[in-house]
Amino acid sequence: MIIRDPLWNNIRVDALALQLVDTPVFQRLRYVRQLGLAYLVYPGATHTRFEHALGAYHLARLTLSLLEERGELRGVSLEERLIAQVAALLHDVGHYPFSHALEEIGALHHEEVATPLVLEGVVGDLLRASLGDGTPERVLALVRGTSDSPLQGLVSGSLDLDKIEYLKRDALMCGVPYGEIDVDRLLNSLVLVDEPQTGRRVVGVLEKGLSALESLLFAKYQMYRNVYWHHAVRSGTAMYKRLVDEALAAGVVDARTLSTYDDEGLLHRLGEGGQSPLLSALRQRRLYKRALECPAAELEDEALEWIADDRALTIAVEDRLADELGLAPGELLLDFPTKAQMLGLDLPVVRRSGEVRRLTTAGLEGAINLPMLSEQLYQSARWLRVFAVRRVDVSRADLLAKLLRVARSG
């Protein structure tokens, strides 16, 4: 079967993949937006996890074909290749409504949520019937990055196909020019190599592909700076997180069932708990305003990580500050996006001499120090922000000092 796609044009889907796509587990992804609340800023950002998953599957098929043509798949069984394709297809089935926001309030990571969805029910039955017992476990290991398969790096790793797919698709659908990645060069530079330390076969990259890897890094930085962590996107995300926090505390929703909802289904459920000012504001795009913003590069190292890591403390401080400014609980929100590497690099590079060297935080001589640059770009893209329901008269220096005192007293 062929599916038409605005990014990759024709996506060929084999019989097993088509059966998996037709399951309720996968069909839910049609109604889970890839970029959460970014559509409030970029109206075209209504694409879903469904088409992204199909795109990742397509790139897996394409990459495996390229590796096969170059003789890189010697010793890798057809079954192993099919399992890698399936893992690329199913990698996002555990995603919560509105992208990663609920993981920021302490909900299980979507890869953990995927465990029963892959191992049990119709998906698990299909995998076992088609590829044998133990297949669901092998697929899940690839999704979680714990497999010993030589193809692990294609599904979850420093240079997995998921990153390439979502950066290209997100840029296209948002209408921004930031997702320019030399995909063809990158895919044609992927190889399977024997790790010098362990002797295991793993996914690596030819040295000639490092410039394409740089394009991936810069694209990711630009997308975080201009789309994913855009101040209005983060305002809407902060409002949504607080809304769900309050619903969980009131028993309106159960944390164990969050992953069963799609975007609109969860918003509808939240509305059944009574009229919420936060929900109404999100529905009508009345986003909270910035009372403070400061780049992470200007903050003391780790000083305010509690905003990203300690949800209970964050809510307590939000309400304390709100009271001091004459606002009601929930009318002032703190936002410091969860710390993550801009491009975590740990993969073997095949030098032109044939020597295999590992690209890690130490960098690689003769090339841009990508790991160091990655950290610098991350610090530039990540901002601390305080949002309020209306403009408030507050000293930026005083507000920042109060937040830092919380860190020191903790």
Domain 2-229 has CATH 1.10.3210.10: yes
The residue that leads in pLDDT, 368 or 123, is 123
- Whole-number Å distance between alpha carbons of 93 and 97: 11
Let me know: does 174 contact 42? Beta carbons within 8 Å: yes
| Helix (H) / strand (E) containing 25 | helix 24-27
pTM of this prediction?
A: 0.93
Confidence of residue 370 (pLDDT cuts 50, 70, 90): low
User: Helix, strand or coil for residue 66?
Assistant: helix
pLDDT score of 89 more than 60 = yes
pLDDT score of 40 more than 60 = yes
Residues 6+ positions from 261 with CB-CB distance below 8 Å: 96, 97, 269
Tell me the per-residue pLDDT of 334-366, one tens digit each, with 9 for 90 and over: 999 986 666 667 788 888 888 888 876 555 554
User: Helix, strand or coil for residue 32?
Assistant: coil
Let me know: does 135 contact 127? Beta carbons within 8 Å: yes
Q: What is the average pLDDT score of the chain? A: 90
pLDDT score of 129 more than 90 = yes
Tell me the per-residue pLDDT of 256-297, one tens digit each, with 9 for 90 and over: 888 899 999 999 999 987 778 999 999 999 999 999 999 988
- Whole-number Å distance between alpha carbons of 222 and 100: 19
